[in-house]
Structure 1
Amino acid sequence: MPNTQIRSVKSTEGVNRPKRSLRSRINRWGLSLLAVLVLGILVFLLVPSPIKPAKWSAPTAPSFEEAGPWKQNNKLSSAQLVTDAPQFPEFITFDKEGQLYTGDSDGKIYKVPFDAEGNPQKAQMFADTKGTPNGLKFDAKGDLTVTDVKRGLLSINPSGSIKVLADQVDGQPIYLANELDIAKDGSIYFSDTSNYGSVTFKEIAENKPHGRLLKYDPKTKQTTVLLEGLYFANGVALSADEDFVLVAESYHYQLTRYWLKGPKKGTSDIFVDNLAGFPDNITRDDQGHFWVGIFTTRISFVDQMHSNPWLASTMAKLPESLLSGASAPAKHGLAMELSPQGELIGSWHDPEGKLYGVTTAVSYNGYLYIGTAPGGSKGVHRVLLTK
């Protein structure tokens, strides 16, 4: 009996010893991992930020729930697919025959004809810029003028031959040619979005103006700077009388007006501000009204970051691949209509998120045509222009 008890104790000790040893090793590993994590956080916090953010208290975003022109509806929810040949049709324009033209992010520009009943036919490739064509507009001669993010200001003749009109201004490169409009005298007004040369979350976090509004004179073939210090210069549109030109400042939720005629010529002011999202392209309809695509509704984290430079500078240290999700478009399609005086007439929504990442809204022949950019839904869509 005593011997049996002793053997029992020894047996128990033999079983418990490995368990305690395993537990000790797990604890040591856990402490080591914690130490590495803490050290990594300390190093991350001590590494200098690539930016020095400017503090900005963004205005409170308009509500979609309250009565008024921003009130949510489903006007875009019934959108019809026109073509899915271009994945991301940034901008949309029409030629004199009523054929639709749009570019894709891979450099290709497509032409979409319509039958006698107005039904879209199969898309045809018109040209390939080997860049990223954003803005498109036909000039008086019938050539397609293009602002290409990678190549600058281009002209494409009806046979698809491409010529570079401008890729420099004042001895500097045109960093990111984005959108354009053409005056009756042939002058081309276009945006140079940012001297960052690409769309990056760091620029949002920095909250400093790096964009410009440019003008190309086809007679002298010279490009000049009209405005600089813009917060992500984007869409461009002339007024019906061409007494001013608008440029969207996406990162400050506003449209800026630059006066071309009258007592204010050569000066600028705010046309409309505190928009419900990031304004992208601007088009003008036959009534002189402006249509604006809203790429994404307001992102509360971004607004909070603007008021906290430490948070902004810390976020800018993260790899861009991790930050892209923070600025991805909300799955809420949105476009707006403005009067020639800047009054918000109404907004068009798709709260279901089937159509989102809206860059362009073009009123043409009884329809509102919608374009999008990478991050949003795919293909050209349209909805009937019923109010």
Structure 2
Amino acid sequence: MGFKQKVFKVGLFVMIVAILPGLPPYPTFPFKSFSVTPPRPLEDILAPNQLLNNAEHLLEHQLASPDTILVRGNMTYVTVYGGKILELTNDEQIRVVAKFGKECRSHYDDRECGRVLGMAFDSQGNNLIVIEAYSGIWQVQIKTGEKKQLISLDTVIEGGKVSRKPKFPNALAVARNGDIYWSDFSSDFLFEDAMIAMLMNPSGRLVHYSRATGKSKVLIDEVYGANGIVLNADESFVLVGETGGQLIYRYYLKGSKSGTYDIFADGLPGSVDNLMADENGIWVGIVIAADPNNPSALALLAPFPILRKFCVRMLTFIELPFEFVYQKTGNQLALHASHFIGNLLSAKALFPKRSTVLRLDWEGNIVAALHGDDGTASLVAHATQNGEYLLLGSPATSWIGRVRLNEETLKTVGSKVRLGSAKKPSPKPVIVDKSKQKVDGEL
């Protein structure tokens, strides 16, 4: 068989699988061509450096997938695998603030043992407002751990192109009046199938939840992987990161542009994850690097709906029998296989090795870029400044990363802290929960 014949047969197979009617999945929006703005060259402000190299690994092997990190005074709060929110206290103890779901049996049973993604301090009390990927948005009292559900995944969110239930709640920000702005990453697949979700046409949303009425409404629809959320200081606009589009949208809440949105920053060097704001600007976690020499595979596939539809159907067909066996028998090997097939981290060996955190001002300008190439900071989803240090979270690590910001970066980000002025880390070990296990680092 000649080469042309082989190519023809492969193409015919792809076309048949892609165009046959009535086969799953059943997308919110039909497959059609769209485009992603190419990433900017790694030059000038984005030029490679080693500012994330030699990152310390705090609590190494004592936690997994620290997705979101918040700092308030001497307390640090972190969401980790296993549906837990941890409080790292001043006396080097770790307290479990709250637990969602059952106890985990392994690293692939998120849907059973919970997966907390987004988290923000509440403006209406001593609470954390958190997003649990499989159940919705909750209010958690920090001292007692008491939980109150605010938004269920069974709630139809009105507005947008199509009113529908949330599928993959991801990140949030809390306004001064208690209202919540949150992102629904995709309307087609759950958290564990993020890779398949990103092959669909964009169906993510930026949503506003009124604390007074208990109602949500869509502000922006068809976001290509709606992710990190922040409000600016006067709450005149809210930002939402778009993972697949490698950009950040700005939705105006006040002024002459109220009710409209535009692009705050685009052509970013990779997939945007969490956003963390302060009065001077925003830290942006770039979870999967991209540049002109290493373009995003998702961006390359965006203009080809037939090919994306084929990939989605093939992955779905492969996953279905394992999911069926798990649902009928509870077999853990079947659950493991189902979790692996659709999971974005299953492809992490193919991702570029560069780690990147960006600093943007409130005009959308990139004012600093921190890169790493030694692997000590990996797939950075979250960056939180704590004095002269930057704390790094990632869904792919078993530690919290920490790098010391140099004098130039501190000056650029408008920090009043200078080298040598922050409290140096104590040599004492951290004690984790009740296990009394010791680790080398601390916060």
**2:134 corresponds to:** 150
Partner of 2:269: 276
Alpha-carbon distance, 1:225 to partner: 2.0
* Aligned residue number for residue 438 of structure 2: none
Which whole-Å deviations, capped at 9, do the CAs of 1:284-313 have from their partners, x for residues lacking one? 12x330111011012443333223334333
Q: Tell me if the contact between 1:183 and 1:238 (Cα under 8 Å) persists in the aligned partners.
A: yes
- Show the 5 A alignment for 1:57-96: 57-64=35-42, 66=43, 68-84=44-60, 85-95=62-72
Deviation at 1:74, TM superposition (A): 1.0
Where does 1:162-173 land on structure 2 (aligned, <5 Å)? 162-167=147-152, 168=155, 169-170=157-158, 172-173=164-165
2:159 maps to 1:139? no
Matches for 1:277-316 after TM superposition, within 5 Å: 277-285=270-278, 287-298=279-290, 299-316=295-312
Give, in angstroms, the shift of residue 75 of structure 1: 0.9
Taking a change above 3 Å as real, the CA distance of residues 220 and 98 of structure 1, as seen in their structure-2 partners, is farther
1:303 & 1:196 partners in 2: Cα distance? 19
Matched, 1:182 2:174: yes
Which aligned pairs between 1:236-275 and structure 2 lie closer than 5 A? 236-275=229-268
Cα distance in 2 for residues equivalent to 1:332 and 1:223: 38
> Is residue 196–residue 342 contact of structure 2 (8 Å, CA) maintained in 1?
no
Letter in 2 for 1:109: I
- Alpha-carbon distance in structure 2 between the residues aligned to 1:351 and 1:291: 19
Q: Sequence identity of aligned pairs in percent?
A: 28
Tell me, in whole angstroms, the C-alpha distance in 2 between the residues paired with 1:348 and 1:102. Answer: 22
Q: Is the 8 A contact 1:134 1:179 kept in 2?
A: yes
Question: Alpha-carbon deviation of 1:200?
Answer: 3.1
Query: Does 2:222 align with 1:200?
Result: no
> 1:354 Cα deviation (Å)?
2.3
| Aligned match of 2:353 | 331
Cα RMSD for the two superposed structures: 2.7
Distance 2:74 2:10 in 1: 59
Structure 2 unaligned residues grouped into runs of 5+: 2-7, 20-24, 102-113, 317-340, 410-443
Distance 1:323 1:360 in 2: 19
User: Is 1:126–2:109 an aligned residue pair?
Assistant: no
Q: Does 1:362 align with 2:355?
A: no
Distance 2:11 2:304 in 1: 20
Q: How does 1:204-243 map to 2 (within 5 A)?
A: 204-206=198-200, 208-243=201-236
State the 1:153 CA deviation.
0.9
Asked whether the equivalents of residues 246 and 271 of structure 2 are also in contact (C-alpha less than 8 Å), the reply is yes
Pairwise CA distance, 1:42: 6.2
Q: 2:34 aligns with which of 49, 56, 63?
A: 56
Unaligned runs of 5+ in 1: 1-30, 32-37, 116-120
Superposition TM-score, scaled by structure 2 size: 0.71
Structure 1 runs (4+) greater than 6 angstroms displaced? 38-42
CA contact (8 A) 2:54 2:376 kept: no
Query: Equivalent residue of 2:197, what SS?
Result: helix
More strand as a share of residues: 1
Please state how far the C-alpha of 1:252 moved relative to its aligned partner. 0.8
Contact 2:37–2:266 at 8 Å: present in 1 too?
no
Give distance in 2, aligned partners of 1:195 and 1:358.
24
Aligned residue in 1 for 2:108: none
Q: Deviations over 1:172-212 (max 9, x none)?
A: 43222111111111111111111113243333223x22111
Contact between 2:245 and 2:299, CA under 8 Å: does it hold in 1? no
Superimposed CA distance per residue, residues 227-258 of structure 1 (whole angstroms, 9 cap, x where no aligned partner): 22211110000011211000011111110000
SS in 2 for 1:252: coil
Residue 22 of structure 1: aligned partner: none
Please report how far the alpha carbon of residue 81 of structure 1 lies from its aligned counterpart in structure 2 after TM superposition. 2.1
* 1:219 shift after superposition: 2.3
Is the deviation greater in 308-317 or in 354-363? 308-317
Take 1:312 and 1:262, find their aligned partners in 2: how far apart are those partners? 40
TM-score (norm 1): 0.80
The correspondence for 2:82, drawn from 106, 131, 153, is 106
SS of alignment partner, residue 195 of structure 1:
coil
1:191 to 1:58, Cα distance in 2 relative to 1, 3 A? closer
